[in-house]
Amino acid sequence: MSLKFWKPGTAEPGSNLDRATANEGNIVSSSPYSLSSQRERLPIYKHREKLLYCIEKYGVTIVVGQTGCGKTTQLPQYLFESGWASEGNIIACTQPRRVAATSVAGRVANEVGTILGDEVGYTIRFEDLSDKNRTRILYMTDGMLFRETLVDPLLTRYSVIMIDEAHERNIYTDLLLGILKKIRRKRPGLRLIVSSATLDASYFLDYFTSNNSPDEATIISLEGRMYPVDVAYAEKPTPDYVRAAAETAYNINMQHIPGDVLIFLTGREEIEQCLEYLAEMLVSLPRMATRLVPLALHAGLTTDDQLRVFENAEKGSRKVIISTNIAEASVTIEGIKFVIDSGFVKICTFNPSTGLSALVTVPTSVQSATQRAGRAGRTAPGICYRLYPSSAFDTLPRSMPPEITRTDMTTPILQLKSLGIDDLMKFEWVTAPPAETVLRALEGLVANGMIGEDGRLTVMGEQVAECPIEANIARMLFKSKEYNCGEEILTIAAMTAIQDPWVIPDGAPGALAELERRKFTAEEGDHLTLLNAYNAFVKHGKSSNWCKSHALSFRTMSRAVSIRSQLKKYMQRFGLPLNSCQGDAQSLRRCLVSGYVRNGARWLPDGTYRSVRGEQILHTHPTSVLFTRKPKSGWVVFHEMEETKKTQCVFFCSCFGGMDDGLTKCRIRIITEIEPDWLVEHGMVYQDKRKKPVE
DNA sequence: GAGCACTGC
């Protein structure tokens, strides 16, 4: 039973849209550009004079251009060539991702004919390849530029700042735009370029011209360089898009000439299910048919496995890459001719009334569906199969709600306060966060002693704002002084900042890996288990082989080492002692509670937990060492919560007009057993009544 | 009872 598709006569307008990261993406090697004639052939070149004129005349220039038009690599060079980097000034270009910042900087250094780190450089966390005196074009992550505002609030080093990929609406991009609008009032000489790959960028224009002269901002559209992508829709909704995706891939293989296939699903579980379906179908693949090579792609894979999707398929075979949203912008695979789009994505949302964030599956947006389709037209015309009817497409929101509207604002608000932005109601947000999110964040900051009675930052608040880590974790670092456990808390802080370090594959190797992981188990819970893993990693010389034999990701563990040493510098600067509690797990856990006061939960005899805030039903995540065990005290704190829905049918019904039958499940990750008194000890004052664990 | 979208400092 295969899904029938309906194909509109013409390609969907704008379906060849793509995002600018594509060429700048991950891992793909790019051909060297060294000749100026190659630069002149880029579509952006004929707009050069107009762009320079606008940047000179207007404070803010909004540039709309698709992938391959060259704005990210060329615009900073045009500015450089026309003197914007004279007198020691720097031209900055921000990127949402580290790989983009590094790879674009490398290409531009090559075009300019300089060594990377000299006239052209980049700055990302843990890597600064720039020269304080010589660098004129600086690529950086938007998070780094945001951090720089805490040190130099007017960003005086820069003459032009280009915010690239602004349409992605990351929280740092949004915060930077707000701050830069403010900076422009004090430094009218500073020029701003806001670059977006989507056509509906006029809200950026409205944003910069409101409360300003109309001459403050202008908008320019550039031509793209993409091939057309035909879009086909499912005739009817499908109850099982994972199976439908596998069937569609199979049918493409039977009907079409060679060309690789890219499937967008929401997560690892679906990807593995889809691989199984495909394996079943491939048994009946006719002998003469093109061979199918299914490959998974998601962030939880090892680097080696991720790299496999870039290898060319053998002659007479076709790659089917089954991916999460990582292939939408972060990773670019050349040679994709067919895209199969489930129409769903997992996003993180935040519930201000419980203070908990959750991972939920939702329908994508028009912008995102267009972006996914564009992945089929990078090297030749392509086809995108959408596994939902065109009537469902018409109900999709234009774009995803910006991150700032669905994230905890505690840490960003602390940082804005530190910048001297005290009246958050007057701050000109591109999109304002929900009022309740702001109120809860302020309430939490007051309760945590970061903001005083007078509404100003306390000494600890000022210092926590500087730390490159979530405010609640930073609070643990500060409180470690009282519990004599600076060493251990520092490690735990670093370990919770990374992704899950364990690599547990499917099947039999997975069971073995699971046994390896159990070796690190601490009775008290996951935080101490992570501490054990880190200490063992260091004890064994931070070796990659050791990681391999203990089911740990070397890449992730190495990142924990970097983060730890960075945080250590902050602790030393703030005079926080790096004492070890010498195995005193109780002090350590009491210190943990200081950061997790909002994340308390109590155990119930049915094996679930109830959150202290909001009485929400919580389940233990299967990766937790407390998954198979009742906490003796009956109380725990947890690092984070995620919400998942039981079946795809539910996603489908609830998201595309049906009902929600309540099969959502909240899981808590990284859990540690505590005593309930410790919650009160750490300022759980606004909690009306303390419930005893039920026996 | 059984499994984690993606960034970023």
- The nt closest to A665 (CA vs C1′) is B1
Bases of chain B with protein Cβ within 7 A? 1-9
Alpha-carbon span A97 to A305, nearest angstrom: 21
In a domain, A521, yes or no: no
Are A74 and A206 in a shared domain? yes
| Whether A555 CB is under 7 Å from strand B | no
Last residue of a domain, one of A377, A401, A425: A401
Alpha-carbon span A191 to A79, nearest angstrom: 11
- The nt closest to A170 (CA vs C1′) is B7
User: Phi and psi for A120 in degrees, rounded to 5?
Assistant: -115, 130
Alpha-carbon span A85 to A160, nearest angstrom: 8
In Å, what is the CA distance from A273 to each residue of A115, A338, A652, A653?
47, 20, 17, 20
Residues in chain A: 695
Taking Cα atoms as reference points, which of A682, A235, A680 lies closest to residue A482? A682
Biggest CA–CA distance in chain A, Å, is: 77
Q: Are A348 and A400 in contact (CB under 8 A)?
A: no
Alpha-carbon span A514 to A643, nearest angstrom: 24
In a domain, A490, yes or no: no
| Whether A479 CB is under 7 Å from strand B | no
Last residue of a domain, one of A339, A370, A401: A401
Q: Are A330 and A97 in contact (CB under 8 A)?
A: yes
Q: What is the pLDDT of residue A7?
A: 66
Alpha-carbon span A363 to A343, nearest angstrom: 6
Are A347 and A378 in a shared domain? yes
In Å, what is the CA distance from A317 to each residue of A248, A260, A262?
17, 9, 14
- The nt closest to A359 (CA vs C1′) is B5
Tell me the Cα Rg of chain A: 26
Are A252 and A323 in a shared domain? yes
Q: What is the pLDDT of residue A557?
A: 94
Are A114 and A241 in a shared domain? no
Last residue of a domain, one of A200, A221, A242: A221
A148 CA – B4 C1', rounded, Å: 32
What would the two tokens of residue A617 be? Answer: 């039903």
Are A233 and A292 in a shared domain? yes
Are A305 and A261 in a shared domain? yes
In a domain, A489, yes or no: no
User: Phi and psi for A7 in degrees, rounded to 5?
Assistant: -115, 115
In a domain, A460, yes or no: no
Q: What is the distance between the terminal CA atoms of chain A, rounded to a whole angstrom? A: 52
What would the two tokens of residue A643 be? Answer: 């919400």
In a domain, A624, yes or no: yes
DSSP A99-128: HHHHHHHHHHHHHHTS-BTTTEEEEETTEE
Which residues in 138-157 of chain A line strand B, with CB less than 7 A from it? 141, 143-144, 147
Are A207 and A240 in a shared domain? no
Q: What is the pLDDT of residue A118?
A: 95
Are A115 and A186 in a shared domain? yes
The three-state DSSP-derived secondary structure of A219-286 is EEECCCCCCCEEEEEECCCCCCHHHHHHHHHHHHHHHCCCCEEEEECCCHHHHHHHHHHHHHHHCCCC
**Structural domain count of chain A:** 3
SS3 A448: coil
Domain holding A34, by residue range, is 21-221
A469 bridge partner residues: none
Are A235 and A215 in a shared domain? no
Angle at A98 between CA A333 and CA A643, to 5 degrees: 80
Q: What is the pLDDT of residue A354?
A: 79
Closest protein residue to B6 using CA and C1' atoms?
A326
Are A212 and A138 in a shared domain? yes
| Torsion region of A452: left, alpha or beta (phi above 0 gives left; psi -120 to 50 gives alpha) | beta
A52 CA – B2 C1', rounded, Å: 58
In a domain, A270, yes or no: yes
Average confidence (pLDDT) per 10 residues, chain A, 695 residues: 63 34 34 64 90 96 86 94 94 93 93 95 94 96 94 95 94 96 95 90 93 92 82 93 95 89 93 93 89 90 83 89 92 91 92 81 92 90 95 93 94 94 90 94 92 92 94 95 96 94 82 90 95 96 92 92 95 96 95 93 93 88 91 94 58 39 77 94 58 38
Q: What is the pLDDT of residue A472?
A: 93
| Torsion region of A65: left, alpha or beta (phi above 0 gives left; psi -120 to 50 gives alpha) | beta
Q: Which residues contact A413 (CB under 8 A, 6 or more apart)?
A: A424, A438, A441, A442, A445
In a domain, A507, yes or no: no
Residue A172 belongs to domain with CATH number: 3.40.50.300
Alpha-carbon span A563 to A572, nearest angstrom: 14
What would the two tokens of residue A600 be? Answer: 């308390």
Are A340 and A381 in a shared domain? yes
In a domain, A252, yes or no: yes
Alpha-carbon span A30 to A27, nearest angstrom: 9
Are A196 and A265 in a shared domain? no
| Whether A411 CB is under 7 Å from strand B | yes
Alpha-carbon span A442 to A64, nearest angstrom: 36
Q: Are A195 and A72 in contact (CB under 8 A)?
A: yes
Helices (H), A283-423: 303-307, 326-329, 366-374, 390-394, 410-418
Q: What is the pLDDT of residue A647?
A: 42
